[in-house]
Structure 1
Amino acid sequence: MDTQYAEARSRVETRSEGDVRIVVMAGEFDMDNVADLRTAMDPGAPGIARFVLDVAGVTFVDSTALSIMLQPAMDRPVVLAGTVPGRLARLLEITGADLAFATAPSVAEGIVVIVPPRQG
């Protein structure tokens, strides 16, 4: 696959507010174009207590991208901010991954929403 085309289909922007990493995702995410997402969602990144994912602009996520989104959720909150697009919501529901994420109506609320500790 043409790497330039793959990168053009998706966009990842990151910024931090204190110990919160905000990741804005837009477009299609599949195994051919997840490098930027993998870097943004690095579960080993120091000093990050929470990830807030703005997913309103996501049009497609495959299992590879979903796996990357889930990795940090093993030991810290990952909040999906904004309206979760229907296709992504369905993927989360059928895989059970919806239980791993907190949700918030906006990035600003995702930064401060109280996320209960995980049971398990």
Structure 2
Amino acid sequence: MEEHAIMEEHMGADRAPSRVEVLSREGVRVVVMTGEFDIDHLGGLREALDPMAPEVSRYVLDVSGVTFTDSTALSLMLQPALTRPVILAGELPRHLKRLLELTGANRVFTMAPSVEQARMMAVPPHPRRA
């Protein structure tokens, strides 16, 4: 079964809107993140990264279009990693790469150069799910 949804939040004239597009198919939930994600603009991301989502074996986060991420958004990105693999796909924006390095979260995520490679790559099952 395939699921597709788009969630968008407008942040005002001085900031880019955040947009989350979700495509779930064959146990893989692809979440395309675009724009700025901070404590005030996480609604769509919170829904997309539901750590209890049934029948999701892995999350693929396309972060190549992210222009800003704060620690609250990073916390949401980490939640599903407690129970299943989370793969960051695409080129990491410089600010996100730095945030991952500073927090040590870069050791939690698997990295892939593209969404298609992330969908197909072999990743070990999460220890809590194995």
TM (norm. structure 2) is: 0.84
Rounded to whole Å, the distance in 2 between the matches of 1:59 and 1:21 is 22
Q: 1:104 to 1:4 in 2, by over 3 A?
A: closer
Residue ranges of structure 2 left out of the alignment (5+ in a row): 1-8
Alpha-carbon distance in 1 for matches of 2:106, 2:125: 15
Residue 73 (structure 2) pairs with residue 65 (structure 1): yes
* Displacement after TM superposition at 1:112 (Å): 1.3
Counterparts of residues 19-98 of structure 1 (less than 5 Å): 19-98=27-106
Equivalence for 2:5: none
- Tell me the CA shift for residue 117 of structure 1: 4.5
CA contact (8 A) 2:17 2:35 kept: yes
Structure 1 stretches of 5 or more lacking a match? Answer: none
3-state SS of 1:32 partner: coil
Is residue 2:17 matched to residue 1:9?
yes
* 3-state SS of 1:5 partner: coil
Task: Give the Cα–Cα distance (whole angstroms) in 2 for the partners of residues 31 and 107 of structure 1.
Answer: 26
Deviates more, 1:7-16 or 1:37-46: 7-16
Change (3 A) 1:102 1:71: same
CA distance in 2, matches of 1:116, 1:17: 19
Q: Aligned AA for 2:11?
A: Y
The one-letter amino acid of 1:76's match is R
* TM-score, normalised by the number of residues in structure 1: 0.91
CA distance in 1, matches of 2:126, 2:47: 24
Identity across matched positions, percent = 56
Measure, in 1, the Cα distance between the counterparts of 2:107 and 2:122: 15
- Residue 4 of structure 1 and its aligned partner are, at CA, apart by 3.8
Q: CA RMSD in A?
A: 1.8
1:102 aligns with 2:104: no
